[in-house]
Structure formats: structure tokens, C-alpha cells
């Protein structure tokens, strides 16, 4: 997540159009200053633009996780709006052979 100050350099070139790509449901921007984290400077540029009502498009199809694994983040972070590619649904779940509800693997 880019902070507003991070975008200053990009705007010095006076672009006709700017496209920000990111996911506000993922990790926030890294802040090294305690003062910045206590102020409005801690918000990402994308979060501020979204709150201002700027146009936002959700890429609603994920292609990496099996639907059984993707169900939790889709529900917990995306209000059910995240879908799984039909190609992923056809693949067997790698964890279906695990006999317990939870499994810890020390690697």
C-alpha cells in the first residue's frame, strides 16, 4: 500500500491518467515513524481515494487457491465477493487427505 507521499514523484511527471493497483484488505503500508502512524499520514492513498468516492474496481476472481481454502478469506475479508476460478474448483484439494480439522506441519 502506497502512502500519499509515496506518489508525489509519480505526479511530478504530470500523467494524464493514474491507475493504482492494490488490495486494501491485505497488509497495510510499512511505517517507520511512530508519529506518522498516529496521524492521517498513516492511511494509504488507495484507502483515502476509496473513501472520497473515486472509481474502484474489484478483481473478484482468484486463481491460486482451491475453493475450500479460499472460502475463509472470501468471507472474512471480502464479504463473499471473492470468487474462485472454475479451473481451481476442478482440482482436488491438497489437504483433503489430512484426517484432522487442524494440521500443523513443521518445515
Q: Which residues contact 20 (CB under 8 A, 6 or more apart)?
A: 2, 45, 46, 49
Q: Give me the tens of pLDDT residue by residue for the chain, a chain 107 residues long.
A: 777 777 888 888 899 988 888 888 887 777 777 766 666 666 777 888 888 988 888 899 999 888 888 999 999 999 999 999 988 877 777 666 666 667 777 77
What are phi and psi for residue 44, nearest 5 degrees?
-75, 155
Residue spans of the domains in the chain: they are 4-90
Q: How far apart are CA 11 and CA 5, in angstroms?
A: 10
Amino acid at each position: 500500500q502506497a502512502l500519499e507521499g509515496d506518489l508525489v514523484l509519480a505526479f511530478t511527471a504530470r500523467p494524464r491518467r493514474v491507475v493504482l493497483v492494490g488490495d486494501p484488505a491485505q497488509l497495510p503500508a510499512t511505517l517507520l515513524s511512530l508519529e506518522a502512524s498516529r496521524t492521517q499520514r498513516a492511511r494509504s492513498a488507495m484507502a483515502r481515494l476509496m473513501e472520497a468516492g473515486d472509481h474502484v474496481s474489484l478483481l473478484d476472481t482468484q486463481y491460486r487457491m482451491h475453493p475450500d481454502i479460499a472460502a475463509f478469506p472470501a468471507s472474512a475479508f471480502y464479504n463473499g465477493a471473492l470468487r474462485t476460478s472454475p479451473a481451481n474448483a476442478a482440482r482436488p484439494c491438497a489437504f483433503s487427505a489430512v484426517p484432522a480439522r487442524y494440521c500443523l506441519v513443521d518445515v
